[in-house]
Amino acid sequence: MSSRSKVTDQGSSTTGHGIVRRRGAVLALVIAVVFVVFVLVGAKILVDRSVYTPVAMGPVSAPAGDSGTCTDIIGDLPDRLGDYRDVGVTDPAPEGTAGYRDSGGTELALRCGVNAPGQYTRLSSVEEAGGEQWLRVTDATPGSGLTTWYSVGHSPVVAVTTEGRLDTADLAGVGEVTSRHGDDGDAPAPGPAPLADLPARGGDSCNAVEDALPDTLGEYRRVDPGTLDPEAAAAVEGSAVWVAEGREPVVLRCGVGLPDSYEAGAQLTQVDDVPWFEDTALAEGSTAGVWYSMGYADTVAVSLPLDAGNSVLTAVSAAIDENLERTAER
C-alpha cells in the first residue's frame, strides 16, 4: 500500500509541475502576443502622426472664402474623401480651406470661394457627383501631376486639388455639402469658346483645310458640332474643335485677321513649311496660347493648350500648306 501510494504521490507531483509549466508557457505566449499588439499599435500611431499631418496652404484669390456659406461648407465636410482623411490645415490657415491626406501622405487641398477657372467655357465637359457639377482641370505645367476639380453648379465655387488618385465618386461627399449650402441660381456662367470673338471669313479653301485635318490630334478627339447643345454649337460655328478630358480644347479658326500684338519683324516659329506667330497673351486662368499662321492667303488661328504637344501644329501646318495659297511675301 505504501509503495503504491508513493507512486501515486509522485505521479500527482509530476502532473502538477507539467500543468504549471504549460500555464507558464501559455501566459508567456499571451504576454508576447500582447506585446506585439502594443508594438504594432504604437508603430501605427507613430506612422499616423508622421503621415497624417496638417496640410500647409498659402493664400490664393478666394473672394468668397470668408463668407458665411463657405464657413458652413467647411464645417460640414466629411471626415473622409475616398482614400483621404481630414487632417486640417497648418496655422495660419487661409479662410475657407480644408486639408486631407491619404495613407501615403499625399495631400488634398480644398478651397472654398475661389473664382471659376478660365478653362470653364461653353465647350467644357462636366461630371456630376453628390448633386454637384464638377469640372476637372489638369495642370499643364511640365512635370506637374496636379489635378483640380471645380464645383460649377453652385456658388460659391469649391476647388479640390491633389496630385494623387481621386475619382469623381470620391467627390460625392463634398458635392452633397456644396449643393446643400450653395446657391444654384448664382452658379458661375461658362465663358465663351476660345477664338469665338475672332471674325472668320472662311470659304472653300478654309473648308478644305478643316476637311484635311484628322479626327484625333494626340490625345484630342474632334468634336462633331451635331453632338453639342445648341448654345455650344453656336459658340463653335465656323471653328474646328478637338477635346481631351481634363484639358482645354484645341480650337482652329480659318480666315481670321492678325492680332494687334503682331508687328513686322516679330519672332516666328517655323513648323515644316508654315511660319507661326504666337500671341503670348493668356486669358485669366487659361494655359492656352493662340498661334497664327503666316505667309498664306488665309490666316489660320489655333488656340493651343500648353500641354497639347507639337503634333497639333505639325498636322495643321500640313493641311495649310496643301490647301491654302501662298502669298508673295512668303
Could you tell me if residue 177 is inside a domain? yes
From the CA atom positions of the chain, what is the Rg in Å?
32
For residues 158 and 223, membership in a common domain is answered with no
For residues 158 and 238, membership in a common domain is answered with no
Name the domain boundary from 160, 186, 212: 186
Could you tell me if residue 286 is inside a domain? yes
For residues 181 and 214, membership in a common domain is answered with no
Q: What are the CA-CA distances from residue 42 to residues 37, 51, 101, 255 (Å)?
A: 8, 14, 20, 70
Write the pLDDT tens digit of every residue in 189-212: 998 889 988 988 888 999 999 999
Q: Give the pLDDT confidence score for residue 38 in this predicted structure.
A: 57
Cβ-Cβ contacts under 8 Å for 67 (sequence gap 6 or more)? 96, 113, 156
For residues 140 and 106, membership in a common domain is answered with yes
| Tally of domains within the chain | 2
Could you tell me if residue 81 is inside a domain? yes
Tell me which amino acid residue 300 is: V
CB-CB neighbours of 95 under 10 Å: 17
Could you tell me if residue 168 is inside a domain? yes
**Four-residue CA torsion sign, 269, 272, 275, 281:** negative
**Four-residue CA torsion sign, 141, 60, 78, 126:** negative
What is the rounded average pLDDT for all residues in the chain?
86
For residues 213 and 162, membership in a common domain is answered with no
55: cell is 496640410
Write the pLDDT tens digit of every residue in 37-68: 555 545 444 455 558 999 999 888 999 999 99
pLDDT at 139 over 50: yes
pLDDT at 6 over 60: no
Domain that holds residue 90: 68-186
pLDDT at 13 over 80: no
Q: Give the pLDDT confidence score for residue 16 in this predicted structure.
A: 62
- For residue 2, with 0-12 CB atoms within 10 Å meaning exposed, 13-18 middle and 19 or more buried, which class applies? exposed
Write the pLDDT tens digit of every residue in 92-133: 999 999 999 999 999 999 999 999 998 898 888 899 999 999
Cβ-Cβ contacts under 8 Å for 165 (sequence gap 6 or more)? 82, 83
Could you tell me if residue 30 is inside a domain? no
* Nearest C-alpha neighbor of 192 from the set 262, 283, 277: 283
Write the pLDDT tens digit of every residue in 217-276: 888 999 988 888 888 888 888 899 999 888 889 999 999 999 988 988 889 999 999 999
Three-state SS string over 185-201 comes to: HHCCCCECCCCCCCCCC
Choose between 125 and 183: higher pLDDT.
183
For residues 211 and 309, membership in a common domain is answered with yes
The confidence band for 18, taking pLDDT boundaries of 50, 70 and 90, is low
Tell me which amino acid residue 323 is: N
For residues 245 and 210, membership in a common domain is answered with yes
Tell me the C-alpha distance between 273 and 29, whole Å: 81
The confidence band for 283, taking pLDDT boundaries of 50, 70 and 90, is low
For residues 156 and 216, membership in a common domain is answered with no
For residues 225 and 316, membership in a common domain is answered with yes
Q: Is 81 helix (H, G, I), strand (E, B) or coil?
A: strand
Q: Give the pLDDT confidence score for residue 276 in this predicted structure.
A: 95
Name the domain boundary from 151, 186, 221: 186
For residues 285 and 243, membership in a common domain is answered with yes
CA angle 279, 280, 285 (to 5 degrees): 125
The confidence band for 316, taking pLDDT boundaries of 50, 70 and 90, is very high
Could you tell me if residue 63 is inside a domain? no
282: cell is 493668356
Claim: this prediction has a pTM higher than 0.85? no
CB-CB neighbours of 243 under 10 Å: 18
Q: Give the pLDDT confidence score for residue 284 in this predicted structure.
A: 56
Looking up residue 269, the CATH number of its domain turns out to be 3.40.1000
Could you tell me if residue 17 is inside a domain? no
Could you tell me if residue 20 is inside a domain? no
For residues 169 and 277, membership in a common domain is answered with no
b/e string for 134-167 if b means 16 or more Cβ within 10 A? bbbbbbbeeeeeebbbbbbbbbbbbbbbbebebe
For residues 209 and 180, membership in a common domain is answered with no
